[in-house]
């Protein structure tokens, strides 16, 4: 069974702090996506990383794909209350069509 | 860009009653379609996926079924709901081989 372990599960921080969310697996992924979800809504795609070692930036969010394409991290700089939500990582495995394996999610709360 | 519609948005059903949730996709053709269930604030569990009309793959044993009568229509059904079927059901579409999935707004199902 392929698993994608995401940590931490819960994170409560003050506005202005930095944070990092991790996704780890023993499986190699052809690509990895990060999503953000607000309560009662569907997840929204933030970024896709494809190449080992790849780094992508989206304003204050930095996404990194591990060299071996087994892990990824999301770093948020100077978090704001608007960053509050559920962050999900999802990996695509070769020869599995378009199916994704999702992590269990990180529930982030940023207090003003 | 593609848009995914789901209805109903919320549903309260008694145990033993039937279920039909509908998902339709706009802005793309021949997408791969997915049904997920999400427990509160957690990751997504893949229930069914479809690569074309009439083609359904089931990921987990359960009393739910799926059908794809048209290219951009995906239906989740049950003949008799169980309490454990309660949850947030998400439909997703993937097109182009990039493994990026786009989600609908979800249906909140409560079985009493």
Q: Do A33 and B97 touch (CB under 8 A)?
A: no
User: CB-hemisphere CA count at 13 Å for B50?
Assistant: 27
Tell me the pLDDT tens digit for each residue of A9-65.
999 999 999 999 999 999 999 999 999 999 999 999 999 999 999 999 999 999 999
Confidence of residue A73 (pLDDT cuts 50, 70, 90): very high
Q: Kindly tell me if the per-residue pLDDT of B100 is higher than 90.
A: no
Examine the pLDDT at B97 and tell me if it is beyond 80. no
Chain A touched by B4 (CB under 8 Å): yes
Other beta carbons within 10 angstroms of residue A20's beta carbon come to 14
What's the gap between Cα B15 and its chain centre? 20
pLDDT at A95: 66
Beta bridge partners of residue A61, listed in sequence order: A58, A76
| Predicted confidence band of residue A96 (pLDDT cuts 50, 70, 90) | low
Q: What percent of chain A has pLDDT over 90?
A: 87
Q: Is A92 on the interface with B (CB under 8 A)?
A: yes
CB contact under 8 A, A31 and B32: no
Q: What is the DSSP code string of B45-73?
A: EEEEEEEETTEEEESS-SSEEEEEEETTE
CB neighbours of residue A45 within 10 Å:
15
Nearest CB partner across the interface for A104, out of B42, B100, B101: B42
Distances (CA, A) of B56 to A15, A111, B52, B87, B98: 45, 44, 8, 21, 21
Q: Write out pLDDT tens, residues B30-60.
A: 999 999 999 877 889 999 999 999 999 998 8
Q: Whose structure tokens read 């579409």?
A: B93
Q: What is the pLDDT of residues A6-23, one digit of tens each?
A: 999 999 999 999 999 999
Q: What is the mean pLDDT of chain A?
A: 93
Q: How far apart are the first and last CA of chain A?
A: 40
Hey, which residues 12-31 in chain B have their CB within 8 Å of chain A? none
Min CA distance, B51 vs chain A (Å)?
9
Nearest CA distance, A97 vs chain B (angstrom)? 8
Nearest CB to B105; choose among A33, A41, A86: A41
- Is the pLDDT at B27 greater than 70? The verdict is yes
Do B109 and B11 form a contact (C-beta atoms < 8 A)?
A: yes
Q: Would you state the pLDDT for residue A2?
A: 66
């Amino acid at each position: 069974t392929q698993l994608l372990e995401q940590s931490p599960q819960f994170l409560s921080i003050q506005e202005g702090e930095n944070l990092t969310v991790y996704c780890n697996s023993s499986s190699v992924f052809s690509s990895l996506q990060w999503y953000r979800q607000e309560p009662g809504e569907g997840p929204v795609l933030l970024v896709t990383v494809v190449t080992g070692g790849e780094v992508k930036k989206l304003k204050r969010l930095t996404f990194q794909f591990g060299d071996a394409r087994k892990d990824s991290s999301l770093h948020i700089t100077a978090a704001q209350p608007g960053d509050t939500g559920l962050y999900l990582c999802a990996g695509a495995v070769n020869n599995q069509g378009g199916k994704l394996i999702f992590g269990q999610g990180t529930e982030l709360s940023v207090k003003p | 860009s593609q848009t995914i519609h789901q209805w109903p948005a919320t549903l309260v059903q008694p145990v033993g009653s039937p279920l039909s949730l509908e998902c339709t996709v706009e802005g793309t053709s021949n997408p791969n379609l997915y049904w997920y269930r999400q427990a509160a604030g957690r990751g997504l569990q893949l229930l069914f996926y479809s690569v074309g009309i009439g083609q359904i793959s089931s990921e987990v044993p359960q009393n739910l079924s799926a059908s794809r009568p048209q290219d951009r229509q995906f239906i989740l059904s049950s003949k008799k709901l169980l309490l454990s079927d309660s949850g947030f059901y998400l439909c997703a579409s993937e097109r182009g081989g990039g493994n990026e999935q786009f989600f609908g707004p979800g249906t909140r199902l409560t079985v009493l």
